[in-house]
Amino acid sequence: MFRTGLCSITHRDLSVDQIIELALTCGLEGIEWGGDVHVPHGEIELAETVLDRTLAAGLLCPSYGSYYKIGHSEEDGLKFDAVLDTAEALGVPLIRVWAGARNSEDAPPDYVEHIAAETYRLAERAVARGIMLAFEFHNGSLTNTPAGCRALMEAIGCEAVGTYWQPVAGACEADNLASLLTVKPWLRHLHVFHWSKTSTPEGKQTIERHPLADGVTAWRRYLEALDGSEREYWTYLEFSRNNDPEQTVQDAAILKQLTGSE
């Protein structure tokens, strides 16, 4: 089953109330509030207020998009207690975290073991409050590739830890589909967008954002690969072309068509 939502970081320049209003205009079901701007880590009263406003609007808070890097953030001054307390105040059942700060191909075995052990320890603390953890699927972390993600998940071996998934800009549809199928056993939610990657004559690579309508064929295949699962997946719109709220509204219409939630 698919649910539809919006990542608040899609529009960091909008206020909490404007994000809520945009989600309602889009006809979405929930908001993943980000820990950088809208609901900063450790601001408990704000988190409680945001939860109240979100629920009063008829929307859900299915997850908290933290910027906690396991194995690194404590040394950098971000305590897991602050993240966990904020997530609890926000009423979410899941916190999005980052799997360290190295790409999987650059990480020695002892680093992977350390991140896996630390993740397990933190997951036990989160589960005690009815909250799960799930990794960002992103460069700059051990879950930057499907193989790296799978290896880390197998090393952790904990049902309370999963992963998000998103397509890799510049990868072909077949490779992205294979990536999704690789991490499917641990998949919790998806970040939805349609981007491409191009190279300049000088060899510099740039990312270009496109309307989700341009990626309908690919996204239909991705979601079809998850049909029949007993899990409930949130499909979150993340980022829009030109950071334009109107583009988000258009993308939301496509997302609802793809998920059958019109």
- In the 3-class helix/strand/coil scheme, how is 61-129 assigned residue by residue? CCCEEEEEECCCCCCCCCCHHHHHHHHHHHCCCEEEEECCCCCHHHCCHHHHHHHHHHHHHHHHHHHCC
187-192 vs 233-237, strand pairing mode = parallel
Task: Give how many domains the chain has, as a whole number.
Answer: 1
The pLDDT confidence band at residue 46, using thresholds 50, 70 and 90, is: very high
Domain that holds residue 235: 2-259
Instruction: Judge whether residue 261 has pLDDT over 70.
Output: yes
CATH code (residue 236) = 3.20.20.150
pLDDT, tens digit, 9 for 90 and up, residues 142-200: 999 999 999 999 999 999 999 999 999 989 999 999 999 999 999 999 999 999 988 77
Q: Note the pTM of the prediction, 2 decimals.
A: 0.96
Average pLDDT over residues 31-52: 98
262/239 Cα distance (integer angstroms): 21
Quote the pLDDT of residue 208.
94
Handedness of CA 54, 19, 15, 42 (dihedral sign): positive
Residue-level pLDDT at 228: 82
Residue for token pair 């809208």:
38
Per-chain mean pLDDT for the chain: 96
pLDDT for 262: 67
Residue 33: its H or E element: strand 30-34
Q: Do the bridges between strand 161-165 and strand 205-210 make them parallel or antiparallel, or are there none, so unpaired? A: unpaired
Query: Rounded to an integer, what distance in angstroms lies between the CA atom of residue 206 and that of residue 199?
Result: 6
For residue range 104-134, what is the model confidence (pLDDT) as tens digits?
Answer: 999 999 999 999 999 999 999 999 999 999 9
What is the mean predicted confidence (pLDDT) over 36-46? 98
Q: With beta carbons less than 8 A apart as the criterion, state whether 167 and 114 touch.
A: no
| 138: exposed, middle or buried (Cβ count in 10 Å: 0-12, 13-18, 19+) | middle
